[in-house]
Amino acid sequence: MRKNSEDKRYFFPNTHEALIDEETFALAQKRIATRHRPAKSEEIDLFSRLLFFRECGYKMYLQKGARTLERKHAYTFGNYRNRARNDFLCTTHYIRKTVQKELVLADLQRVLVYVKEQEQEFVRTAADCGEQAAKKALAQQKKELDKVNRRLLELNILFRKLYEDMALGRLSNEQFALLTSGYERKKAVLTKRTAELRQEIDTAAERGADVKRFVALVRRYSEIRELTYENVHEFIDRISFHELDRKTNTRKIEIFYSFLGKVDSS
């Protein structure tokens, strides 16, 4: 068997009756995506692959000891945790798991009540906001793409300059290796982010807000009193943490829901 690249494949969607609905399939894909990183207890965390730091896009990871109580478990910024290894300057970002669960449960209950009690208004408002949100997201993605491309160009220029200095004898091999350590990793991270942004930009105009699918999802639940892996990953696509506001000692947290993004019930 020889694998073809996607540009050489032909796709014919919706030619056969589906064995399962799209929502169940999407949830299964999320669960499969986290299977390679279970905790030592073989338990996949409730918010696995959902928590990110807004300013740089890096993930947040669960920190817990083998014998520590759950009230002491916390999520920390992955890039700060590895700062000595990746030579990345950033402040720490931290939130207790119990606090995170309370925040998400409260917001999820708010959204469910809003959609159930004011469904027509929700559908109308979400449809109106969908196009505006798509345009705003597209502008932000293009801005970030330009920033990433500039950083890639800077890294390439710096690498070429250091290489020329080494070739001309102004730098030793050891100095060159020291100064360029981490270059390939940084370049790979930026290149991957570039590809992700281009894909997001290409599909932004088509993505929109699938309001009907979200309403159908809400109708499947009478209420939610406790968070589970299934209901969290069914309803939520991403949770973003912003930098701490030192003046007010508060941190903004954004919850992006499946098919819609942020849901404003005001």
106-121, pLDDT tens digit by residue?
999 999 999 999 888 8
Number of neighbouring beta carbons within 10 Å of residue 75: 23
More confident residue, 243 or 255: 255
Q: Above 50 in pLDDT, residue 221? A: yes
174-195 mean pLDDT:
76
Supply φ then ψ for residue 129, to 5 degrees.
Answer: -80, -20
Q: Confidence band (pLDDT; 50, 70, 90) for 21? A: confident
Note whether 255 and 241 are within 8 A (CB): no
Considering the chain, what is the average pLDDT of its residues? 78
Q: Above 60 in pLDDT, residue 123? A: yes
Most confident of 22-31, 65-74, 164-173: 164-173
Q: Above 60 in pLDDT, residue 82? A: no
Q: Confidence band (pLDDT; 50, 70, 90) for 142? A: confident
Indicate the Cα dihedral angle 77, 82, 87, 93, nearest 10°: 20
Number of neighbouring beta carbons within 10 Å of residue 245: 10
175-198 mean pLDDT:
75
pTM of the prediction?
0.58
Lowest mean pLDDT among 3-12, 87-96, 158-167, 257-266: 87-96
The strands making up 74-77's β-sheet, listed across from edge to edge, are: 60-63, 74-77, 94-96
228-235 mean pLDDT:
90
CA distances from 146 to 46, 133, 202 (A): 34, 20, 15
Q: Confidence band (pLDDT; 50, 70, 90) for 135? A: low
Altogether, the residues listed in the chain come to a count of 266
pLDDT at 232 (0 to 100): 92
